[in-house]
Amino acid sequence: MFAREFEWDALTRFATDPAGGATLGVVSGRRRQGKTFLLRALCEAAGGFFFGADEATDGESLRRVGAALADRLGAPAPLAFDDWYPVFDALLALGSDRAVPVVI
Protein backbone atom coordinates (compact mmCIF):
# COMPACT_ATOMS: atom_id res chain seq x y z
CA MET A 1 0.00 0.00 0.00
CA PHE A 2 1.30 3.41 -0.88
CA ALA A 3 0.14 6.58 0.90
CA ARG A 4 -2.81 4.87 2.58
CA GLU A 5 -1.57 4.79 6.17
CA PHE A 6 -4.33 7.09 7.46
CA GLU A 7 -7.09 5.04 5.83
CA TRP A 8 -5.54 1.73 6.88
CA ASP A 9 -5.20 2.90 10.49
CA ALA A 10 -8.83 4.04 10.56
CA LEU A 11 -10.05 0.73 9.13
CA THR A 12 -8.00 -1.39 11.51
CA ARG A 13 -9.11 0.68 14.52
CA PHE A 14 -12.72 0.17 13.48
CA ALA A 15 -12.29 -3.55 12.83
CA THR A 16 -10.52 -4.17 16.14
CA ASP A 17 -12.79 -2.03 18.32
CA PRO A 18 -13.27 -4.02 21.55
CA ALA A 19 -16.91 -2.92 21.94
CA GLY A 20 -19.25 -5.90 21.82
CA GLY A 21 -21.94 -6.43 19.25
CA ALA A 22 -22.21 -5.72 15.57
CA THR A 23 -21.26 -2.29 14.25
CA LEU A 24 -21.75 -0.83 10.82
CA GLY A 25 -19.12 1.13 8.94
CA VAL A 26 -19.57 2.91 5.64
CA VAL A 27 -16.64 3.48 3.30
CA SER A 28 -17.21 5.98 0.55
CA GLY A 29 -15.18 7.96 -1.90
CA ARG A 30 -14.49 8.59 -5.52
CA ARG A 31 -14.29 5.71 -7.95
CA ARG A 32 -11.00 3.94 -8.65
CA GLN A 33 -9.26 5.16 -5.48
CA GLY A 34 -8.57 1.78 -3.81
CA LYS A 35 -11.50 1.30 -1.44
CA THR A 36 -12.10 -2.31 -2.47
CA PHE A 37 -8.39 -3.09 -2.26
CA LEU A 38 -8.20 -1.75 1.31
CA LEU A 39 -11.33 -3.62 2.40
CA ARG A 40 -10.15 -6.91 0.89
CA ALA A 41 -6.78 -6.45 2.59
CA LEU A 42 -8.51 -5.73 5.91
CA CYS A 43 -10.56 -8.92 5.69
CA GLU A 44 -7.51 -10.94 4.74
CA ALA A 45 -5.41 -9.51 7.58
CA ALA A 46 -8.14 -9.87 10.21
CA GLY A 47 -9.64 -13.19 9.13
CA GLY A 48 -12.78 -11.47 7.92
CA PHE A 49 -15.30 -12.21 5.21
CA PHE A 50 -15.40 -10.22 1.97
CA PHE A 51 -18.20 -10.50 -0.57
CA GLY A 52 -18.11 -8.30 -3.64
CA ALA A 53 -21.73 -7.46 -4.30
CA ASP A 54 -21.32 -6.85 -8.00
CA GLU A 55 -24.29 -6.02 -10.17
CA ALA A 56 -26.44 -9.14 -10.38
CA THR A 57 -29.97 -10.25 -9.78
CA ASP A 58 -31.02 -11.02 -6.21
CA GLY A 59 -31.13 -14.72 -7.00
CA GLU A 60 -27.63 -14.74 -8.44
CA SER A 61 -26.26 -12.68 -5.54
CA LEU A 62 -27.90 -15.01 -3.01
CA ARG A 63 -26.35 -18.03 -4.78
CA ARG A 64 -22.93 -16.37 -4.84
CA VAL A 65 -22.99 -15.35 -1.19
CA GLY A 66 -24.21 -18.85 -0.24
CA ALA A 67 -21.24 -20.36 -2.07
CA ALA A 68 -18.81 -17.89 -0.48
CA LEU A 69 -20.17 -18.55 3.01
CA ALA A 70 -20.03 -22.30 2.49
CA ASP A 71 -16.42 -21.98 1.40
CA ARG A 72 -15.63 -19.89 4.48
CA LEU A 73 -17.34 -22.40 6.79
CA GLY A 74 -15.92 -25.47 5.08
CA ALA A 75 -19.39 -26.72 4.18
CA PRO A 76 -19.53 -29.52 1.60
CA ALA A 77 -22.05 -27.67 -0.57
CA PRO A 78 -23.16 -24.08 -1.12
CA LEU A 79 -25.62 -22.70 1.40
CA ALA A 80 -29.05 -22.03 -0.08
CA PHE A 81 -30.68 -18.70 0.70
CA ASP A 82 -33.96 -17.44 -0.73
CA ASP A 83 -33.91 -14.12 1.16
CA TRP A 84 -31.32 -11.69 2.54
CA TYR A 85 -32.44 -11.95 6.19
CA PRO A 86 -30.92 -15.40 6.75
CA VAL A 87 -27.76 -14.24 4.95
CA PHE A 88 -27.30 -11.47 7.48
CA ASP A 89 -28.04 -13.88 10.33
CA ALA A 90 -25.29 -16.17 8.98
CA LEU A 91 -22.89 -13.26 8.57
CA LEU A 92 -23.51 -12.08 12.13
CA ALA A 93 -22.94 -15.63 13.38
CA LEU A 94 -19.39 -15.47 11.96
CA GLY A 95 -18.57 -13.21 14.88
CA SER A 96 -19.97 -15.41 17.64
CA ASP A 97 -16.51 -16.29 19.04
CA ARG A 98 -14.53 -13.18 18.15
CA ALA A 99 -14.80 -9.95 16.20
CA VAL A 100 -14.92 -10.70 12.48
CA PRO A 101 -15.01 -7.95 9.89
CA VAL A 102 -17.64 -8.60 7.24
CA VAL A 103 -17.52 -6.53 4.08
CA ILE A 104 -20.22 -6.49 1.43
Q: Is residue 21 part of a domain?
A: no
pLDDT in tens, 1-15: 557 788 889 999 888
* Residue 64 forms part of a structural domain: yes
Q: What is the pLDDT of residues 17-74, one digit of tens each?
A: 888 778 888 888 888 888 899 999 999 999 999 998 788 898 999 999 999 999 999 9
Q: Is residue 103 part of a domain?
A: no
Tell me how many domains the chain contains: 1
Given a cut of 90, is residue 93 above it in pLDDT?
yes
Identify the band that residue 94 occupies on the pLDDT scale cut at 50, 70 and 90.
Answer: very high
Give the predicted TM-score (pTM) of the model: 0.84
Q: List CB contacts of 78: < 8 A, sequence separation 6 or more.
A: 63, 66, 67, 70
Domain that holds residue 39: 5-16+26-94
Is 39:11 a contact under the CB 8 Å cutoff?
A: yes
- Is 104 inside a domain boundary? no
